[in-house]
Every structure is written in C-alpha cells, then in structure tokens.
Amino acid sequence: MRAGATINLVNQCTEAIVSCAQAGSGTINCYPLAAGGGSQTLDVASSWQAGVIWAYPGTDTSVANTAKPQANLAEFTIGGSGGKDYYDLSNVNAYNLAQTISMTSIVSGDSAGTQHCTDVTCSIADLNSFCQSPNTLTGDPGDGCYNTDGPGTASTAGTQEFKTACSDAYSYSTDDSSSTWTCGTSSNYQVTYCP
C-alpha cells in the first residue's frame, strides 16, 4: 500500500513567512519558514483529500485562520480518481504571495504533458498597484488582495484581473478547465514561495 506523498514547502522570499497545511476541515499545522530558503517537508496520507496550503508574512502561527482567506492557496487531492493526484493554485479568495507548485519526482511510467506533471506558477509583482476596485487590500496578517467576486461561479471584471495576472491559477470557483493540473499518484511535490 502506498505510504503517501511528500510536499516540500520552501521559502525563497526575503522575509520570514508561516506556511500552513490543512486537509478538508482537519487540523491546521503551521510552520515558520526562515527567509531565503527555510523549508519543511510534509508527509501526507495516500489519500489526502481537499488539502490546502497557504502562507503569510511573519512568524506568528496563531493567526493562521485569519490569514487563510487573505491568501492564495496551493490545493491538492492526493490519491484521487483514476490513479491521479490533482493540484492547482487558487486566487479565488485572495492573493498574497508568489507561489510555484513543482514536482520533486514523477511516478514511474508517467511524464509531463499539458496541465499534467508540470509546474504551475502565480506571481504578481506590485500588489498595491494591482489591487484595484472591486478588489481590496486585506491588510494584516495576510497582506494580500481580496478577489471580491472570486467565490462566485462566473468570470467578472474583478476576477479577470487575477486571470490576466496568473492565467494558470483559479480566478473564480468554477474556473476549472484552465486551472486544474494532474500527475500520477505516487508523485511528490514542492510549493515554493517567491520562486
């Protein structure tokens, strides 16, 4: 039986951050990551469903719940249907830190292809200039930009700003066709902040 997957969390930002992980409505685990290469390895279950990873500036792990809706998410379903893992970057609620999901290993017999076993990145250089009405800055602790219409089921002028900036990431809740990525189960991953 498969032991699970590893997901490395790596902070390449110039400031310390906290990265948190949660599967479904389960326990939130948070890890302070030092600037310039701080890292943590997550060993997740062979069936890690609705897993989300997010991060925010600083070292205070007590504000994880407050920061979550102010942050972009790396989302995983490990051991999904059809022998596949599913992963994506989501700006549905907000965006706060540049992220890349990459593979550290691909299961034997699988290979990279379109939206399959390949890296996905979202990076917005100047958040203050980017975050214009109807979207709004979140303030502390996430220091991000709320995607006001993101939780809806249709593209709007507000969600389109996020899609234009990060074409491979979710910009609203049903933005599936260009935003969902797969790789064969038994692959391993890395989430890099400020890649």
Q: Which residue ranges make up each domain of the chain?
A: 5-193
Q: Are 101 and 87 in contact (CB under 8 A)?
A: yes
Cα angle value 117/32/121 (rounded, 5°): 25
The pLDDT, as a whole number, for residue 1 is 40
DSSP codes of every residue in 67-115: HGGGS-EEEEEET-GGGEEEEEEE-SSEE-S-EEEEEEE--TT---BTT
Q: How far apart are CA 178 and CA 173, in angstroms?
A: 12
The pLDDT, as a whole number, for residue 88 is 97
Q: What pTM value is reported for the model?
A: 0.95
The pLDDT, as a whole number, for residue 3 is 56
The strand ranges marked E within 97-164 are 99-105, 120-122, 136-139, 144-146
CATH topology of domain 5-193: Thaumatin (2.60.110)
Per-residue pLDDT tens listing for the chain (195 residues): 455 799 999 999 999 999 999 999 999 999 999 999 999 999 998 889 999 999 999 999 999 999 999 999 999 999 988 899 999 999 999 999 999 999 999 999 999 998 999 999 999 999 999 999 999 999 999 999 999 999 999 999 999 999 999 999 999 999 988 899 999 999 999 999 999
Single-letter amino acid code for the residue at 77: T
Q: How far apart are CA 124 and CA 95, in angstroms?
A: 8
The pLDDT, as a whole number, for residue 105 is 96
Q: How far apart are CA 56 and CA 71, in angstroms?
A: 7
